Structures are given as C-alpha cells and as structure tokens.
Amino acid sequence: MTIQVTGNLLEGCVLAVLSTGDEYGYSLTQRVKNELGVSESTLYPVMRRLQTDDCLTAYDMPFNGRNRRYYRITERGHTQHAACKQAWTHFKGRIDGIIFSGGGTQ
C-alpha cells in the first residue's frame, strides 16, 4: 500500500529539506522524490507556489557554463515549516491512535 503525500504536507517536506541549507533544484527534487516517490512534475509547482507565498527565494549560479537554480528558505518559510511540524505531530498522533489501537481520541 502506498500513501500519497500531497498539498501542505508536500510543501512541508520541501521546506524541511531547505531548512538545512540552500539546494539546487534538481538535487532538491531528487531528494524528495527518492524519499516519497513523487515526480519532479509534482514538485516544481510546489516550489513555485512556495515562492509565490514568499516561503522560498530562488537564485541562479553558474555551473559548467550553465546556470543552476538554487532555492533558499525565507523567514516566512521557516515559520511555515515550524507550523507544518506541529500540525504533522498532532495529525500523526491521531492517525497512530486509530491505526495502532483502533481507537483514536474519544
């Protein structure tokens, strides 16, 4: 069984990777893709949306005669990442309660 990661959770995963430092776009997409099994075509729109929301900035750096696009998390992005971690902890606890004990919060 595969559990799909979409929406805010996928944004949180991109922010988590970038919270440790700037990342070249292809490298970033490969890291997330390898962990979650999502495609680059899914990730680039997420990265653009995070840029539009001022959670990421992008800049180009020359590499072997070409430019590479790098992404950097902003202060707003760090705030969003912290909110995502908090929401995930709460959500995961509720799911664990259902899956592992058949209950959840009563």
- The position carrying tokens 């390898």 is 34
The whole-number average pLDDT for the span 49-58 is 97
In 5-74, which residue ranges form alpha helices assigned H by DSSP? 7-18, 25-36, 40-52
Question: pTM of the entire structure?
Answer: 0.86
Cα-based angle 71, 76, 79 (whole degrees, multiple of 5): 110
DSSP state of 19: T
In whole angstroms, what is the distance from residue 44 CA to residue 102 CA?
37
DSSP state of 82: H
- The position carrying tokens 């729109």 is 45
Q: How confident is the model at residue 53 (pLDDT cuts 50, 70, 90)?
A: very high
Q: What local confidence, expressed as pLDDT, does residue 5 receive?
A: 76
Of 13-27, 38-52, 90-104, the one with minimum mean pLDDT is 90-104
DSSP-assigned beta bridge partners for residue 70: 24, 59
Averaged pLDDT score across all residues of the chain: 91
Q: What local confidence, expressed as pLDDT, does residue 59 receive?
A: 97
**In the Cβ-directed half-sphere of 62, how many Cα atoms lie within 13 Å?**
2
Is residue 69 within 8 A of residue 58, CB to CB? The reply is: yes
Res. 106: pLDDT tops 60: no
